[in-house]
Structure 1
Amino acid sequence: MRTALLLSALVLAPASAWYLPGSSPRSYARGEDVPVQVNVLQPMADTATVRGLVSYDYYDERFAFCRPGKIEAASADLATMLSGDRIYNSAVKLQMLENKTCTPLCMAQVSPKQAEFVNARINGRYAINWLVDQLPVANRDVVGNSTRVTTIGFPLGSTISATGHKLTTPALNNHYEIHMQYHERGPNEFRVVGANVLPVSLAREKGEPSCTASEAMFLSPEQTTEVAYTYSVVWTPSDTPWATRWDAYLNVVDPKIHWYALMNSIAVVALLCVMVAVIMARTVKHDINRYNAIDLTEDIQEDYGWKLVHGEVFRAPPSPMALSILAGSGAHLLSMAAVTLVCALFGFVNPSFRGSLGLVIVLSWVFLSFVSGYISGRTYATFGGKVKGPFMWLNGTVFPGVIACIVLLLNTILIANRSAAAVPFSALLGLGLWYGASLIPCFIGSVFAERSGSVEPPVRANRIPRQIPPTRWYLRAWPSALIAGIMPFGAAWLELFFIMNSLFGNRVYYAFGFLTLTFTVTVITTATVSILFCYFHLCAEDYRWHWRAFLTGGASAFWLFAYGMFFWLTRLSLPSLSSNILFIGYLIVFSLLDFVLFGFVGFAACYVYIRYIYSHIRVD
């Protein structure tokens, strides 16, 4: 575990740009072509409620956008495809330091069916996404005499008139005022450091493109509409260096909010840790001393408290194979999360390197599957199972198979909606090959676990299990788990809000330093809460701790799902059934991952705790 000093140092500047080798800056000479690319259309990130989860290809024929002479797709790897990016060249032409005024782009014929589709996307607040020199184009928000970057992408159209009234028919933005910022490095050496667009809706006058029209451009649902697309370009100098050009896109949230929530979570976990420490130092130590002080020469020895179940706690639980597989999968996810956060802290996961997050996840999934094989194998061997072929195969396929089935179902819905976020067959095939490769380290880990054998318990299990007395309602499996899950969820709920805004609100998430600290606090909270409730269960003479520890640790997933439903009701306004199914499906996947990861944390913490206390008592 990282020290608090190192973690604090890493999060002092969470929004600073950091670039990987291979993403070096490009300089342009005066008049040199600057590449403009287009990406998928998504709902705007600045809306109070998101009205869609389906993204669309820019060159989807239903939009009738202007096309270059030859459409060329940017080279995309598996990670980029999984992230939902579909990048192509554009018909817009930019030359360094060359201003343009009302330059015709194309004349498009929009049919009534296309008009209905486009108007629906405008009502859904969809945004157009361009890239200039690999830098996303942002909406240019004018406030008084100053301008500021608000969101990535600019609106496809508007439902509000220039006077602020609601339009009965949405207006299409068909003129783009492009404002480029450049940084001068030297004589005839310039770099792109900013790209903003102010879209405008302008009707055609006398059959010719016009940039001075007073009327907005409306698409008719009854007849074909001719749309003239135009653009203007203005280049302005900037003191912003290339290395920090992403700061304008990332500095959108006051870091004090993160710090406030983080300090609150740290205070809660500190109080919890003190509580557990007091129990361990006073109650448990006192119990151990009292148990060991009993005269073993006497004919009768009276056991009480958690010592009564010393002959039961190391008994194999029901369905030991299922629990072992879940424990191995949780250890796999925990190691993946740790590696991903470390890569993010060192800049290997950042928005300037598209697909970096997916790349790190895929690679860590493959190479760290050894952890899954080893942990599940040792756990199953400790429960008395045989780590053989059937177990190895189930360990490598059951949990990934469940997640894959849900994801494939969601991908089918995306394909049915002709969404750009749908993963193509080639990417699915590549993902399948990576999954096949992950089975090899998983099997190797299981072989090592088989050779290592089981972990010998400090106390032998009795042949006949003792009867469990009735317990109070709050110590039963589900009530105690739900009560325990509140605290880990409370430690991370605010960061979850920003993550959900990034996933479903199309915002850029960048606070990986805060995320690392929050994740660490959540892991510690989960471990301490699981130990605390495990102690309560043992004192109540309930020795069925294995599944309860896993359920207690993963109980934050239930509150995560509940919070996701609250987010769905308050932040989303999804008009179609498919979008609602997509959100529920994604939420189920996230909840399952949370349950398995933190369930392993609770199980591992309780196992270490139980081995410790029962190895320090004398048993006749």
Structure 2
Amino acid sequence: MNMNGYFGGSLYARQGGRRWIKQMFIGAFLIPAMVCGTAFFINFIAIYYHASRAIPFGTMVAVCCICFFVILPLNLVGTILGRNLSGQPNFPCRVNAVPRPIPEKKWFMEPAVIVCLGGILPFGSIFIEMYFIFTSFWAYKIYYVYGFMMLVLVILCIVTVCVTIVCTYFLLNAEDYRWQWTSFLSAASTAIYVYMYSFYYYFFKTKMYGLFQTSFYFGYMAVFSTALGIMCGAIGYMGTSAFVRKIYTNVKID
């Protein structure tokens, strides 16, 4: 059973989504398509330059077959089980079926502004560690402070949850109920700042040049940043969801 399909299918069903087949395909192929597309693009450039990093064509075909004949069936099974086992709405209070108008609010309370600013503090918590991680990966230096990296990861998770909860609180206080995607994207925006930092690192800390090295660096940094953004977004959403459920449970009791 694919965990992505299970949790994605159950969450989509609880939110009232009906186009579950589309959700299943997006959940199954979004990340693999991005990773494989980036890798294949870099691989074609490597083949053009006759680089030793080029991946054989047979390996590329095998990866595509795994996506279609392994990932997709597992995701289908997980989605079906998720919809049937834990797809029933379990809101802590009664939810109005008709969305009400959102009142006007100040510009800095708009979801777009919150999303852009939400990743600053989480990025600040990992800013120093990013240098050592980049150096170990791109300068081929040995990285040995794994305990400190684990501590930084814990701090990142705590800061991400706290920031998204505060952002969601102000959003709800402004009578804006669009907190789901706002909480996810505000936490995931950490990836934007990490990718921007990769530009600084490339131009000032490396000696890379040429089309192949540039595409190799920025291609895999895009994959790394996207994966980090999805992780932070999921952490932020889960923490915010627990917070919203808690406060509305208390409202119901009162």
For the criterion TM > 0.5, the same-fold answer is: yes
CA distance in 2, matches of 1:477, 1:385: 22
Matched, 1:519 2:180: no
Q: Match for 1:391 among 20, 23, 30?
A: 23
Counterpart CA distance in 2 for 1:583 and 1:388 is 36
For the pair 1:382 / 2:45, whether they are aligned, the reply is no
Cα distance between partner residues in 1 of 2:147 and 2:125: 15
Q: Give yes or no for the alignment of 1:450 onto 2:114.
A: no
Cα pair 2:42 2:212 within 8 Å, conserved: no
1:425, 1:514 → 2: CA distance? 40
The higher relative CO (CA closer than 8 Å, separation ≥ 6) is in 2
Count how many residue pairs are aligned between Structure 1 and Structure 2: 252
Alignment check: 8 A CA contact 2:9 2:20 kept: no
Native 8 Å contact 1:380 1:387 kept in 2: no
Cα distance per residue 1:399-419 (max 9 Å; x no partner)? 321222122111111121211
Cα drift, residue 434 of structure 1: 4.1
C-alpha change, 1:462 and 1:419, in structure 2 (3 Å) is same
Q: Post-superposition, which runs of at least 4 consecutive aligned residues in structure 1 deviate over 6 A?
A: none
Pick closer, same or farther for the CA change 1:389–1:477 going to 2, 3 Å: closer
Aligned counterpart in structure 1 of residue 115 of structure 2, from 481, 492, 507: 481
Taking structure 1 as reference, are residues 416 and 508 closer, same or farther at Cα in structure 2, changes over 3 Å only? Answer: farther
User: Matches of 2:215 and 2:63 in 1, distance apart?
Assistant: 23
Q: Is the 8 A contact 2:165 2:239 kept in 1?
A: yes
Counterpart residue number, 2:4: 372
Unpaired runs of 5+ in structure 1? 1-368
Corresponding residue SS for 2:119:
helix
Offset at residue 598 of structure 1 (A): 0.9
State the 1:379 CA deviation. 0.9
Structure-2 separation of matches of 1:388 and 1:540: 32
Equivalents in 2 of 1:441, 1:490: separation in Å?
A: 38
**Structure 2: distance between partners of 1:370 and 1:464:** 34
**Letter matched to residue 29 of structure 2:** T
The TM-score, its normalising length taken from structure 1, stands at 0.39
Alignment counterpart, residue 589 of structure 1, candidates 218, 223, 243: 223
Partner SS for 1:618? helix
Q: Which amino acid aligns with 2:70?
A: A
Query: Which is higher, the Rg of structure 1 or of structure 2?
Result: 1
Q: Alpha-carbon deviation of 1:389?
A: 4.2
SS in 2 for 1:573: coil
Is 1:509 the counterpart of 2:143 in the alignment? yes
State how 1:43-192 maps to structure 2 within 5 Å: none
Out of 48, 71, 74, the residue aligned to residue 416 of structure 1 is 48
**Higher helix fraction (1 or 2):** 2
**Contact 1:377–1:387 (8 Å) recurs in 2:** no
Q: Using the TM superposition, give the Cα deviation of residue 433 of structure 1 relative to its aligned residue in structure 2, in angstroms.
A: 4.4
Q: Show the counterpart of 1:462.
A: 96
Higher relative strand content:
1
2-structure distance, mates of 1:457, 1:475: 25
Instruction: For residue 545 of structure 1, report the CA deviation from its aligned partner.
Output: 0.6
What do residues 44-79 of structure 1 show as CA deviations (whole Å, max 9, x unaligned)? xxxxxxxxxxxxxxxxxxxxxxxxxxxxxxxxxxxx
Which residue identity does 1:491 align to in structure 2? S
Residues 12 and 20 in structure 2, CA contact (< 8 A), matched pair in contact too:
no
2: CA distance, partners of 1:569 / 1:520: 30
Among residues 545, 552, 557, which one is paired with 2:179 in the alignment? 545
Supply the distance in 1 between the matched residues of 2:141 and 2:128 (Cα, whole angstroms): 15
CA RMSD of aligned residues (A): 2.2
Report SS of the residue matched to 1:617.
Answer: helix
Q: Which runs of 5+ in 2 are unaligned?
A: none
Bigger mean CA deviation after superposition, 370-379 or 391-400: 391-400
Secondary structure of the corresponding residue to residue 615 of structure 1: helix
Cα 1:446–1:464 change in 2 (3 A) is closer
Q: Which SS does the other structure have where 2:251 is aligned?
A: coil
Query: C-alpha displacement at 1:586, in angstroms?
Result: 1.8
Matches of residues 136-535 of structure 1 in structure 2 within 5 Å? 370-386=2-18, 388-435=20-67, 436-452=69-85, 453-535=87-169
Q: CA contact under 8 A between 1:492 and 1:522: conserved in structure 2?
A: yes
Partner-residue secondary structure (3-state), 2:126: helix
Query: What is the Cα deviation at residue 564 of structure 1?
Result: 0.6
Q: Report the alpha carbon displacement of residue 454 of structure 1 after superposing the two structures with TM.
A: 2.3
**CA–CA distance in 2 between the matches of 1:486 and 1:551?**
12
Query: Do the aligned partners of 1:549 and 1:599 also contact (CA within 8 Å) in 2?
Result: yes
Task: Report if the CA contact (8 A) 1:387-1:450 is conserved.
Answer: no
